Amino acid sequence: MEQFLQQLVNGLSLGSIYALIALGYTMVYGIINLINFAHGDIYMLGAYIGFAVTTSLHLGFFPALIIAMVACAIIGIIIEKVAYKPIRKSTRIAALITAIAVSLFLEYGTMYFVKAETRTFPSVLANKSIKLFNGGVVLNTTDIYIIVITVVLMLLLQYVIHKTKIGKAMRAVSMDSEAAQYMGISIDRTISFTFAIGSALAGVAGVLVGVYYNSINPLMGILPGLKAFVAAVIGGIGIIPGAVFGGYFLGMTETMVSAYGGSLYKDGVAFAILIIILLIKPNGLLGKNSKEKV
């Protein structure tokens, strides 16, 4: 039982990372039906920005977090303007190929400037351990920071989407972009804002991963990016609560599989679960079937 509770704590931390990245996937898809495969590499850039801020500027954890959010938001807007806006009305395959090209550009462009070796992320948080159940469950302060920051950002995102003018514009564009444009909503500004929020959340995830695992590299965004996409699809891509649910579900599943002797197969299990869920519910666990009139 104690091992199960320990892995539950670990799953919450890992699931928080997946949820933050998955939110960017699902928000962009909900607005313009684009699967932004470069999103995982923005998460990688967030980790490197946090690394540069803490090592070169000698700032603490929270300044690094805020600077990474702002920088990644700007990078997300630039990518949308330069790479995705010109092909917005093109075929989906063109958008998909462009997203893959942007992903490779970010990976190997970063590698050109910072080299390929793994870097050690500085310890910017005092990592103390809290022992529960007579020491059977260990809760690190890093886990608490990750979980609390993720929950706060998700609540803030829900407030922005449901209570602010730009959030209402995002919901309107996701439902019917043409009707929203006729009502005076700026489509370009709304899409840019969506990319900014999603990229900012990915930047936070990058810094949190650097603090949690203490190592970063230019290709670190590939597999977590794919898994976050899996999480978004499991929950129902285009649905924000679905991305959160999928992230935590995937994080819990991976830690449980690793804990009970299947660490070599945790990635395979994640994608196998995706296949099974898509066979049973093609729109994801929280998705709804939508009928189109012919």
Domains of the chain, by residue range, sit at: 27-222
Mean per-residue pLDDT for 261-271? 81
Percent of all residues in the chain with a pLDDT value above 90, rounded to a whole number:
62
pLDDT confidence of 138, banded at 50, 70, 90?
confident
Which secondary structure element, helix H or strand E, spans residue 146, and what is its range? Answer: helix 141-163
Distance CA 124, CA 139 (A): 18
What is the average pLDDT value for the chain, to the nearest integer?
A: 89
- pLDDT score for 288: 67
pLDDT for residue 6 is more than 90: no
Mean per-residue pLDDT for 42-53? 96
Nearest one of 200, 273, 260, 221 to 27, comparing CA atoms: 200
- Using an 8 Å Cβ cutoff, are 113 and 51 in contact? no
Q: pLDDT of 142-170, one tens digit each? A: 889 999 999 999 999 999 999 999 999 99
Distance CA 217, CA 198 (A): 21
Mean per-residue pLDDT for 218-241? 91
Greatest Cα-to-Cα distance within the chain, rounded to the nearest angstrom: 63
Q: pLDDT of 8-29, one tens digit each? A: 888 999 999 999 999 999 999 9
Q: pLDDT of 110-134, one tens digit each? A: 999 999 999 999 988 877 888 776 6
pTM: 0.91
- pLDDT score for 8: 86
pLDDT for residue 290 is more than 60: no
